[in-house]
Structure 1
Amino acid sequence: MIELNKIYNMDCMEGMKLIPDKYFDLAIVDPPYFKGPNKRKYYGRTVNKLNIKRRNYEVIENWNVPEEDYFKELLRVSKNQIVWGCNYYDYYLGPGLIIWDKVNGESSFSDCEVAYCSMHNKTKMFRYMWNGMMQGKSISEGHTQQGDKSKNEVRIHPTQKPVNLYKWILMNYAKQGNKILDTHVGSASSLIACYELGFDFLGFELDKDMYNLASKRLSDVMNQINMFNEI
């Protein structure tokens, strides 16, 4: 059995084999729904408007779109599931949906993202601005732009989601004492939200470079909070 409150650099399919049936109360996952920037030949700007060079996403491998065996294993190890990108998969999970309105304005990117939610049969929406340097002010004022851009989250992954999105999910769909699983950690936003709200978690990330970046990001938050508690 693998330990909680860690990220493992391994294939989630191998990792889930080590997990008992229904061990996790909630799985919040964001699997790849395309073959990666290196497959679709689009990487965005090399240098952004602040003259910051972005990571070379061309080197990210293992953007494997999950198939039926992944979803069956996910349902085996977790009691409930929230699965981002459900509208892209051939595997039907159910009618319950969460819509994340990204308050994109005139952006050429998608106006929203869709997740399957096993905990209801309706559609619920969360509004939170997420477009480059334009990020939401707070969970309750997500439609309003963060006034101080120095407080914005640093983007380390091409499909990164905000920590506040995962906090909203946990506040609405998890109970204290629940164990949370993320099979595709990416930037570790989900795990940061778990740690800051006091949930036990487990994460898998296959790409070695992304695993290192995510581990550092999570570790920095954990160390900062621990230092604050000591003071």
Structure 2
Amino acid sequence: MPAGKVKSKRNKTIDFTLDNSPAGVLESIKDEHGDLSQLNNIINQTINGDTFEIMKLLPDNFVDLALIDPPYNINKKYDGMDFKKMSDDDYQTYTQKWIDLIRPKLKPNASLYVFSDWTTSIVIAPILEQNFTIKNRITWQREKGRGSLTNWKNGMEDVWFLVNNKNDYTFNVDAVKLRRKVIAPYRENGKAKDWKETKSGNFRDTMPSNFWDDISIPYWSMPENTGHPTQKPEKLLAKIILASSNEGDVIFDPFAGAGSSLVAAKKLNRQYVGIEQSRLYAAWGAYRLLKAEDDKHIQGYTNGVFWERNTMTEQKAAMNKE
């Protein structure tokens, strides 16, 4: 925010500087010094440092679910650090480098989700297939950003669902059903069939697919929003965490950014370990983790159910009913 400009009271964006960090935030961040080889020294911690060096120091066989959101293969600035677009061969080498580091950290039945845009997907897909079993490619609607005068607007991103063992992995399908409005309700013998009739409308809990059109990108009036340039929504991460882990499992994020995956894990009663190179982003994440002690709410996830966009009235009614 430009100097001298006062933020609106409705603007909840977390964008403080290191010099004016809230009390307790910087103290809660772990650095690369000390013994990182013992799980009890790193559990429920954000570690500030170079992930390619820190991963070498972590214990083996501790990760139940890895959420991996590396820099996409585009030119991007991250807190003053430039990521430069590489050749396809070099980016594949970069991808294999973090895979080689993370593989020993995974439990035999672990799952991984790797985030990418469509151009990066094309490059990394062969590398992912060589190293893991690809179960699916999820596409989620990232409805944000400007359009293009010479091309279609890029409104989608990919999430690759990978497993270590194709016959042994966690997938809790009932935990990630999506509640959709029923437009033409079907009745059998006068009773609702496969849907629920409520005062707020008619709804059906549908099986999850690999296309997610119910995700809202964090924006300035949402408490989870930060100044990070490529922040992922808590709701997006909550779907993955609920589907592919159980309470008490360890979630690992080696490119943690502003901590969205760690916050979602904490809110959903999982343990977590995150690594983030930027101390500023780590501080924003640490602040969010402290707030999550008292606030477990995840936008769009109410009473154990994921809801479509623009259903806030119905979600509030469901909460009041409880």
Same fold (TM over 0.5): yes
Task: Give the structure 2 partner of residue 125 of structure 1.
Answer: 211
Residues in 2 aligned to 1:20 and 1:103: alpha-carbon distance in whole angstroms:
38
Q: Give the SS at the match of 1:176.
A: coil
SS in 2 for 1:209: helix
The Cα shift of 1:126 comes to 2.1
Matched AA of 2:245: A
Aligned to 1:189: 260
In the superposition, relative to structure 1, how do residues 26 and 132 fare at CA in structure 2: closer, same or farther (>3 Å)? closer
Task: Give matches, 1:1-150, under 5 Å.
Answer: 1=37, 2-34=41-73, 36-38=75-77, 59-61=79-81, 63=83, 66-78=94-106, 79-85=110-116, 87=121, 89-90=123-124, 92-94=127-129, 95=134, 96-103=136-143, 107=147, 110-119=154-163, 124-131=210-217, 133=219, 150=221
Q: Which secondary structure does the structure 2 equivalent of 1:161 belong to?
A: coil
Question: Kindly, what percent of the aligned residue pairs are identical?
Answer: 25
Superposed, 1:179-218 pairs within 5 Å as 179-218=250-289
Matches within 5 A, 1:213-224: 213-222=284-293, 224=295
Q: Given the superposition, is the C-alpha separation of residues 3 and 175 from structure 1 closer, same or farther in structure 2, using an over 3 Å criterion? A: same
Quote the offset at 1:76 in angstroms.
Answer: 2.2
Q: How far does residue 68 in structure 1 lie from its aligned partner after superposition?
A: 1.6
Structure 1 unmatched ranges of 5 or more: 39-56, 134-148, 226-231
Structure 2 residue runs of 5 or longer lacking an equivalent are: 1-36, 85-90, 167-208, 297-322
Rg comparison, structure with higher value: 2
TM-score w.r.t. structure 1 length? 0.70
- Normalized against structure 2, the TM-score is what? 0.52
Per-residue CA shift, 1:86-144, capped at 9, x if unaligned? 60644621343122123459855522111221147xx82222343574xxxxxxxxxxx
Higher strand share: 2
Give CA deviations for 1:182-211 in whole Å, capped at 9, x if unaligned: 001112111110000000000000012222
Moved more, 108-117 or 162-171: 108-117
Instruction: Map residues 160-175 of structure 1 onto 2, 5 A cutoff.
Output: 160-175=231-246
Alpha carbons of structure 1 residues 177 and 101: separation in structure 2 relative to 1, 3 Å: same
Preserved contact between residue 75 and residue 81 of structure 1 (Cα < 8 Å): no
